[in-house]
Structure 1
Amino acid sequence: MPAAVTRADIEAAHARLRQGPANFLRTTPLWRLPGAALGLACAEVWLKLEQLQVSGSFKARGMLHRLLAQPIPTAGVIMASGGNAGIATAAAAQALGVRCEVFVPTISSPAKQARLRALGAQVQVVGAAYSEALAACMARQQETGALLTHAYDQPEVVAGAGTLARELEEQAGGLPDSLLVSVGGGGLIGGIAAWCAGRCRVVALEPALAPTLFLAREAGAPVDVEVGGVAADSLGAKRIGEISWRVTQQHVQAALLLDDGAIRQAQQWLWRELRLAVEPAAALGLAALQSGAYVPRADERVGLVLCGANVDLAALA
C-alpha cells in the first residue's frame, strides 16, 4: 500500500513554510547527550527540543502548513483539539489575521484553554472526549463554511509535522539509529516515519490507557479505543488517523505501551534533572528508556522528540 505522505511532500511543505509569516516557526534546538548523562547504557540520546516551538508544540508546523496550503474563507478556520493542535491553529490564524474557532473536550486542561483564548480563538468546550468535540466541530463547520483543520489526519498536517524530522537530520548531518515517538492520532509519527522512510528505526510509544496505534496493529486496521490517563489531553485520539496508519504500516518497526507511572516519573525527571518543562505526552520517549520498555544497544544513538510544553507548571513542583 503506497504511503499517503512522502518525503517529496515533506520537502514541499518545508518550502511552503519558508514562505509563511516571518519569524513564526522556530528551528528548535537538538541537544545531543551521552547516554550516561541520563543514566542510560547507550552511546547517545538526542533530544529534539520541540517544546520550544511557537505555541509550545510540534503542532505549529502542520497547522500553519494547512492554512498556507488552502484558501481561507471569511469565516476563518475551525477545528477540534485536545489542546495543542488548537493552540497551534490559533497562533497560526493570529499570525495570518484570520478568525479561529476551536472545540475542546472537558479533559482539555484549563491552562490550554486559557492559552487558546489568549491567542484570540473562540473556544467551545464540548463532550468528555476528543471524538465528541470533533463531532460538534464538524456540525458547526457545516453551518459556517470555515476551513476545517484536523488535528492529525490531513495530508498538509502530516507533511508539516514531517518537517521536524527533516530539520533534525539537517542539524545533525544524519539520522540517529532510532527515533522514539509519542502517538495520539498519529500526525507526528506519520510525518517522521514518512521522512525517515526506513533509514532509521522508528518506534511508536503510547500510554497503556490510550493504545490507539497498538490496538490497530493488533487488529490489522484502525479501530476505536477507549482512552484515558495522564496524557489523554494530548494523546487521547479515539482512532489512529488513516494517513498515519498507512505510513506507519510501512515505516514503523514497533509499537510499545507505557503506564502512567513511568510517564509521570520521566516528566518529573526531565524537570528535576534537566530543567525541561514538558507535558506528559512529551515524556514517553524517556519513560520507555528508563522503564526498560525499550532497551537500546550499547552503541545506539537514540532520538527523542520532546513534542510539547503546554503543561501546568504546578504539576512539576
Structure 2
Amino acid sequence: MLPDRILITNAARRITADIRRTPVIGIPGWGLLKLELLQLAGSFKPRGAFHRIRAAGAGPAGVIAASGGNHGVAVAAAAQALGLRAEIFVPEISAEAKRARIRAFGAHLVVGGATYDEARLASEARAAETGALMVHAYDQPEVLAGQGTLALEWEEQSPGLTHLLVAVGGGGLLGGIAAWHRANGAQLVAVEPEGCPCLHAALAAGRPVPAPVGGVAADSLGARQVGGLMFPLAAELHAAGRLTPVLVPDGAIREAQRMLWETVRVVAEPGGATALAALLSGLWTLPRDARVGILVCGGNTDPGSVSPSA
C-alpha cells in the first residue's frame, strides 16, 4: 500500500525523536539544497529504517537487511539505538567506507554476493532461518512512509518550491517524496546515473524490469529493478507531466561532488551528488521563474575521493 499524507505525517510523529531535522541552504544559481547527507548515519535512509522497525516491531532475533551500503548503515544505526541485533548483507561492490560504518554501529556484516540482488536473496534466506525482521531498502510501505517524512520536512522548511531534484536508486526515496506531493505540489525531477537506469527502463517498458548496474554511484543507486510499490505512482506522475526522468554520466556526478565541496564545503558521495549533476551539467534545464530544491541525499564516502579543482 502506498503511503499518503496522513500516513507520512503519522510516520514523522513516530520517528521524530530518532532522526535529525537536516538544514536547507540557498546557493545562488542552483536553488535550495536540502543537506540530508547530514542525517544520522550519513544519508536519508534512517527515516525509513526507523519507521519500519518501530511500525512493524522486532523480536529477539533482531533485524536484517541487504544494502549497497547506506541502507545497511541506517539499519545498523537504528538497531543500535533501539537495542536490537542487526545483520547486514552487502554486495562485493559496496564501498569499504560504508562497510566500516556498518561495523562501527555494531552490526554483523556479511558479504553476500556480487550484486545487491544477490545480497538481498541471501538476506531473505537468512531472515527465514532466524525470524529476524526484514527491513527492505526501498520496497516496503513502512519504508516509503519513512522516506516521505523528508518531503514533509522539506516543505515546512521551504514552502513554495516548484521543482524537486531527487536521485533515484530502487525508488524508495522518490516514492516517498512522490506520495507526499501526489495530489498537489512540486514537479519531480528523477535523476539517475547512466550506469544505473532502472526507473528509465521501467518507464520505457511500462513495468519494473531488470536494468544494468554500474558506474561510480552503483553502491548507493545500483538497484537492478525499481521497486514495485512506487512504480505505479512514478508512472502516474510521469504520464501527467509531473515527473521528469533525467540520466547523467559519471563525469557529471564527479563534477557535482567537486562543486559541492568547493561551494558548500560538504563531501557528498556520488549518489548524493547525482541530483545536482542534472542541473550543473545542463541535462535538466532550469525553467524560468522556477523555485528549485535539490536533495543532497548521502555523504558516506572517503573524503579523499572528492577531487579538488586543479
**SS of residue matched to 1:199:** coil
Q: Which residue of 1 aligns with 2:161?
A: 176
What is the deviation of 1:251? 2.9
CA–CA distance in structure 2, aligned partners of residues 4 and 70 of structure 1: 16
2:250 pairs with 257, 260, 263, which one?
260
- Conservation of the 8 A alpha-carbon contact between 1:183 and 1:206: yes
- Conservation of the 8 A alpha-carbon contact between 1:46 and 1:302: yes
Q: Which residue of 1 aligns with 2:27?
A: 33
What is the deviation of 1:282? 1.2
* TM-score (norm: length of structure 1): 0.93
Q: Which residue of 2 aligns with 1:126?
A: 112
What is the deviation of 1:73? 1.3
RMSD: 1.2
- Conservation of the 8 A alpha-carbon contact between 2:213 and 2:222: yes
**SS of residue matched to 2:89:** strand
What is the deviation of 1:268? 1.1
* TM-score (norm: length of structure 2): 0.95
Q: Which residue of 2 aligns with 1:193?
A: 178
1:288 pairs with 275, 278, 281, which one?
278
Report matched runs for 1:243-282 at 5 Å.
243-252=229-238, 253-282=243-272
CA–CA distance in structure 2, aligned partners of residues 246 and 64 of structure 1: 25
Q: Which residue of 2 aligns with 1:105?
A: 91
Q: Which residue of 2 aligns with 1:308?
A: 298
CA–CA distance in structure 1, aligned partners of residues 40 and 108 of structure 2: 20
Q: Which residue of 2 aligns with 1:66?
A: 52
Q: Which residue of 2 aligns with 1:163?
A: 149
1:159-188 CA-partner distances (Å, limit 9, x unpaired): 10010010011112x241100110000000
- Conservation of the 8 A alpha-carbon contact between 2:2 and 2:144: no
CA–CA distance in structure 1, aligned partners of residues 25 and 277 of structure 2: 18
What is the deviation of 1:233? 0.2
1:52 pairs with 17, 24, 38, which one?
38
What is the deviation of 1:274? 1.8
Q: Which residue of 1 aligns with 2:11?
A: 13
- Conservation of the 8 A alpha-carbon contact between 1:194 and 1:251: no
Q: Which runs of 5+ in 2 are unaligned?
A: none
Alpha carbons of structure 1 residues 145 and 170: separation in structure 2 relative to 1, 3 Å: same
What is the deviation of 1:231? 0.1
**SS of residue matched to 2:276:** helix
**SS of residue matched to 1:292:** coil
What is the deviation of 1:34? 2.5
Look up the equivalent residue of 2:194 and give its one-letter code.
A
- Conservation of the 8 A alpha-carbon contact between 2:276 and 2:295: no
CA–CA distance in structure 1, aligned partners of residues 249 and 164 of structure 2: 20
Q: Which residue of 2 aligns with 1:76?
A: 62
Look up the equivalent residue of 1:187 and give its one-letter code.
G
Q: Which residue of 2 aligns with 1:299?
A: 289
- Conservation of the 8 A alpha-carbon contact between 1:5 and 1:243: no
Q: Which runs of 5+ in 1 are unaligned?
A: 39-44
Q: How many residues align?
A: 302
What is the deviation of 1:47? 0.2
CA–CA distance in structure 2, aligned partners of residues 228 and 266 of structure 1: 18
Q: Which residue of 2 aligns with 1:41?
A: none
**SS of residue matched to 2:230:** helix
CA–CA distance in structure 2, aligned partners of residues 217 and 120 of structure 1: 39
1:24-72 CA-partner distances (Å, limit 9, x unpaired): 311000112332xx5xxxxxx0100100000000001000000100121
